[in-house]
Amino acid sequence: MKYTSLSILFIASAFAAEAPRNENTIVLDANAIRNLGIETVAAEETTFERTLPVLGEIEHTCESHSVLSSRIPGKIMEVLAHKGDFVKKGDVLLRIESRQPGDPPPVIELKAPADGLVISSDGHLGAPVEPDKELMEILDLKTVWAVARVPQHQAAILKEGLTARIRIPSLGTEETASAFLRLNTDEEPNTTTLGAIFELPNPASTLRPGMRAEFSLIISKRENILSIPRDALQGDRSNRFVFIKDYELENAYVRIPVTVGEISGERAEITAGLLPGDEVVTKGSYSLSFAGKGSVSLKEALDAAHGHPHNEDGTEMTAEQLAASGGDHGHDHEHGSNSPLVVFLSIACGVLFLLLITSVFIRKNQPSTQS
Spell out the CATH class of 12-49+224-299.
mainly beta
Q: Please say whether the beta carbons of 216 and 165 come within 8 A.
A: yes
Computed from CA positions of residues 231, 235, 241, 245, in that sequence, does the dihedral angle turn out positive or negative? negative
Spell out the CATH class of 70-133.
mainly beta
Question: For residue 112, with 0-12 CB atoms within 10 Å meaning exposed, 13-18 middle and 19 or more buried, which class applies?
Answer: buried
Pick one of 2.40.30.170, 3.40.50.1370, 3.40.50.2300, 3.30.300.30 as the CATH number of 52-61+142-222.
2.40.30.170
Q: Please say whether the beta carbons of 143 and 212 come within 8 A.
A: no
321 CA to centre of own chain: 50
The DSSP-derived string for 15-31 is HHTTPPPPTTEEE--HH
pLDDT in single tens digits along all 371 residues of the chain: 444 444 433 443 343 333 445 567 888 777 887 888 888 999 989 888 889 999 999 999 988 889 999 999 999 999 999 999 999 999 999 999 998 888 888 999 999 999 999 999 988 899 999 988 999 999 999 999 999 999 999 989 999 889 999 999 999 989 999 999 999 876 666 678 899 999 999 998 899 999 999 999 999 889 999 999 988 999 888 889 999 988 777 888 888 999 999 888 788 999 999 999 999 999 988 888 776 665 455 555 555 555 566 665 556 666 666 666 665 554 444 444 445 555 666 777 777 777 777 776 776 666 654 44
Give CA–CA dist 125/6, Å, rounded. 96
For the chain, what are the domain ranges?
12-49+224-299, 52-61+142-222, 70-133
